[in-house]
Structure 1
């Protein structure tokens, strides 16, 4: 069971929300907006996302950011453009992803995605040509909750037809890994900035392969 952002994918342009072309789109509609307001507006948007108990509505998120920029009544055209597919890719895979997913698939490991994300992630993964590695997607907007809500993890294991103790959950947030372990799942934190791999933290997805082989040998994990 994989988290998506920070584990499998990273944002082009270095930030998740708003996407990289946000400033250009807003300025094309409202050239009077002061550039210096964008950092504060992006922070307000993040506060809005963090306060939500489920993945927030995308339009409400954009309205919050735009209001901080002084755009109190954004046009429907502006909102549609912000939510329409970008002209180019928005996210990309980490270099180790396709290699490791292929190796896991060859080993018969069944995989799902458990992500705090908007509906549409599955289509994005199809564009990245990795959708077919996964049995299904547990997406917070669709489920109406976010990790560490137990329903997120339960949907990820349901998609695999496995019990919690048979599943390994990988996330870049150690608190969300801890929550999974409290529910009976195996858990590993992926920290790409860590100095070395330990029993609870890996620095690359490549480190999963020997761990899973060891667990399968001892019967610890499914």
Structure 2
């Protein structure tokens, strides 16, 4: 069971939300908005996400940022453009992902994705040509809850047809890994910046799964 962002994928442009072309799209509709207002507005959007018990509607998230920019009544055209797929990729795979997923798949290991994300992640992964490796996707917006809610983990293991103790959960957030262990899952933290970590608790590359 894999988390997505920070484990399998990373954002192009250096941030997850909003996507890399957010400022350019808004500026095309509202050129009067000063560029120096975007950082505080984006921080307001992040607080909105953090306060929600599940992944909120993407348009509500965009409205929060736009309101902080002084755009109280954004046009439907602007909102549609922000919600539409970007002109280019917004995320990319870490270098170790494709070879490790292929190796685990060849070994007959069942895999699922458990991610605090908006609906549509499966299509994004299909575009990256890795969706076929997974039995299914447990997505917070779809389930109406976020990790560490037990329902997220339970859906991930249900998709695999396995009991919690038969599953290994991989996430880059140690608190979410601890929550999985408390529910009876095997779990490890992926810390790509660490040189090493406690054996059986921290890995620094997905390659460590391929040899386990």
TM-score interval (norm. to shorter): over 0.9
Secondary structure of 1:38 counterpart: helix
Secondary structure of 1:10 counterpart: strand
Go from structure 1 to structure 2 and tell me whether the alpha carbon gap of 1:79 and 1:58 turns closer, same or farther (over 3 Å shift): same
2:180 aligned partner: 180
2:10 aligned partner: 10
State the Cα distance separating 1:198 from its structure 2 match: 3.1
2:31 aligned partner: 31
Identify unmatched segments of 5+ residues in structure 1. Answer: 212-222
Secondary structure of 1:105 counterpart: helix
2:210 aligned partner: 209
Go from structure 1 to structure 2 and tell me whether the alpha carbon gap of 1:128 and 1:9 turns closer, same or farther (over 3 Å shift): same
Q: Deviations over 1:131-187 (max 9, x none)?
A: 000000000000000000000000000000000000000000000000000000000
2:124 aligned partner: 124
Q: Deviations over 1:17-59 (max 9, x none)?
A: 0000000000000000011110001100000000000001111
Moved over 3 A (4+): none
- 1:101-180, aligned counterparts within 5 Å? 101-180=101-180
Q: Tell me the TM-score normalized by structure 1.
A: 0.94
Identify unmatched segments of 5+ residues in structure 2. Answer: none
State the Cα distance separating 1:197 from its structure 2 match: 4.2
2:51 aligned partner: 51
1:191 aligned partner: 191
Q: Deviations over 1:66-96 (max 9, x none)?
A: 0111111100000000000000001000000
State the Cα distance separating 1:195 from its structure 2 match: 1.5
State the Cα distance separating 1:210 from its structure 2 match: 2.7
1:21 aligned partner: 21
Q: Tell me the TM-score normalized by structure 2.
A: 0.98
Distance (whole Å) between structure 1 residues aligned to residue 197 and residue 93 of structure 2: 21
Distance (whole Å) between structure 2 residues aligned to residue 204 and residue 27 of structure 1: 39
**Is the 1:66–1:74 Cα contact (8 Å) retained in structure 2?**
yes
Secondary structure of 1:113 counterpart: strand
